[in-house]
């Protein structure tokens, strides 16, 4: 462990917030892998995770790596500058990471003085990216939306078949009517 900065009071940590953006095509397993790596970095170096959240797939302010959207992940934690340095070093090495930013919120925070919002399901929720609005509309939003899209297509096909049958009956009736007149 690195020496504590002389600017910090003894036995205290700094409070940080890090937001990173992953490629929008990143699957949930890969998101979980990146989150696991971040969790390990913080915990192995004596930090404390306060909050983790997956903000989902959002539109970017500008194009990054030819992408218009990204998966936003938010981490709030207590640590020292060594943790931030290792965190950001890993962000540069991971392929799905498009951008990241860390902000120091507070200094001289006593260890254990901040409430953690982490429970058993927090990491699972943070690894699951909900489909964005556009994907739901176009029918590309995972298995549930895919099932709904398939059902809708089947209903449309069934309605088209009924319309075709009705048109055939109408044509047949018109042909019989023409024959009777002749």
pLDDT, position 91: 96
| In the predicted structure, residue 146 carries a pLDDT above the cut 90 | no
| In the predicted structure, residue 173 carries a pLDDT above the cut 80 | no
Q: Which of the pair, 118 or 14, is modelled with greater confidence?
A: 14
Query: Average per-residue pLDDT in the chain?
Result: 82
List, in sequence order, every residue forming a beta bridge with 101; answer none if it has no partner: 19
Burial 147-160 (b: 16+ CB within 10 A, else e): eeeeeeeeeeeeee
| In the predicted structure, residue 145 carries a pLDDT above the cut 50 | no
Query: Taking residues 148-169, what's their average pLDDT?
Result: 62
Closest CA to 47 of 77, 73, 75: 77
How far apart are alpha carbons 58 and 99 in whole angstroms? 13
Query: Taking residues 36-40, what's their average pLDDT?
Result: 95
User: Chain-centre distance of CA 9, in angstroms?
Assistant: 37
How far apart are alpha carbons 36 and 164 in whole angstroms? 55
| In the predicted structure, residue 76 carries a pLDDT above the cut 90 | yes
pLDDT, position 7: 74
């Amino acid at each position: 462990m690195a020496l504590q900065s002389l600017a910090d009071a003894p036995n205290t940590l700094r409070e940080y917030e890090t937001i990173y953006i992953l490629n929008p095509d990143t699957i949930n397993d890969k998101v979980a892998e990146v989150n696991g790596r971040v969790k390990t970095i913080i915990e192995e170096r004596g930090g404390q995770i306060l909050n983790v959240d997956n903000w989902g797939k959002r539109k970017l302010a500008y194009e990054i790596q030819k992408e218009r959207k990204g998966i936003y992940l938010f981490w709030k934690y207590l640590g020292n500058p060594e943790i931030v340095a290792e965190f950001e070093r890993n962000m540069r090495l991971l392929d799905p990471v498009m951008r990241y930013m860390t902000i120091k919120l507070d200094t001289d925070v006593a260890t254990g003085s901040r409430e953690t919002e982490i429970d058993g399901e927090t990491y699972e929720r943070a690894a699951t990216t909900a489909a964005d609005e556009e994907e739901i509309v176009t029918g590309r939003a995972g298995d549930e939306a895919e099932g709904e899209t398939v059902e809708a297509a089947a209903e449309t096909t069934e309605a088209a078949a009924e319309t075709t049958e009705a048109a055939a009956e109408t044509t047949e009736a018109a042909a019989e009517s023409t024959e009777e007149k002749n």
